[in-house]
Amino acid sequence: MGYLGWDFLILDAEHGSLDPNRAEDLVRALELRGVTPLVRVTTNQPPVLLRFLDAGAQGVHVPWVDTAADAERALQAIKYQPRGMRGLAGVRPATFAQELSFPDYVARSNEETLVVLQLESAVAVDNLEDILAVADIDVLFLGRTDLSHSLGHAGNTAHPDVESVVSRAVERIVASDVALGVVVPNVEEAQLWRERGARYIATTFEAVVGASAKAWLAGASA
């Protein structure tokens, strides 16, 4: 995937078996191709975030951010002082303290590490104004599948109840300095969401490979 021109790839530890050890290998591969490696972590806990960041993730997706307190807890774990309380060590992204001084590494990490917070419930949307008031969030990512589930329409992201809540969130995020993020199943939806103001658009490996495989099989057997 690193050869194919993606701006970033998200390594999924939340809904997959990825651990920091394996993530570090994947990060190395993406760095060689100039692709930004991001990790969707398992949970919003400092030790979890620390291990994936120390493995070299250049940004993280933090699931289930429902309140401003959840958002601030994530920022405290992701950022070094003075913004946060992330533990400092001579880890791989710090060049094992060989090429970068600690002050230079801390400054670069605090400036460049991407913070993507996932809004995945009706509660999160209700608390959106407070979440947006938390400093240093880069992307608020609408997890529409879990959001639909929380509204009683599991997986039906097109249901009017779900779309009403999504539209409310979209309007407020697009009006802010924070980027709107979504995951889409195809190119058509990617274009639609760009028109709605999304600046951070992801898709799934299955969406890309599945469509290609089906087209290939249909053509080869015709």
What CATH number does the domain containing 26 carry?
Answer: 3.20.20.60
Band (74; pLDDT cuts 50, 70, 90): very high
Percent of the chain, pLDDT > 90? 98
Task: Quote the pLDDT of residue 130.
Answer: 98
Beta strands at 200-203 and 139-142: parallel, antiparallel or unpaired:
unpaired
- 37 has a pLDDT exceeding 90: yes
* 3 assigned to some structural domain: no
* 2 assigned to some structural domain: no
- 168 has a pLDDT exceeding 90: yes
* 24 assigned to some structural domain: yes
Say how many domains are in the chain: 1
Tell me if residue 15 is catalytic.
yes
Band (222; pLDDT cuts 50, 70, 90): confident
Mean pLDDT for the chain?
Answer: 96
Q: Model confidence over 87-125: pLDDT tens digits?
A: 999 999 999 999 999 999 999 999 999 999 999 999 999
Task: Quote the pLDDT of residue 89.
Answer: 96
**Which pTM does this prediction carry?**
0.95
Interacting residues of 11 by C-beta distance below 8 A, sequence separation 6+: 18, 23, 26, 27, 37, 38, 39, 40, 57
* 1 assigned to some structural domain: no
| Nearest to 8, CA basis, from 38, 49, 32 | 38
Structural domain range at position 139:
8-221
Task: Quote the pLDDT of residue 173.
Answer: 98
Residue 182's φ and ψ, nearest 5 degrees, are: -150, 160
Query: 12, 40 in Cβ contact below 8 A?
Result: yes
Q: Of 15, 61, 149, 153, which residue is the catalytic one?
A: 15
Distance, CA of 119 to CA of 141 (rounded, Å)? 6
- 181 has a pLDDT exceeding 90: yes
Average pLDDT over residues 155-175: 96
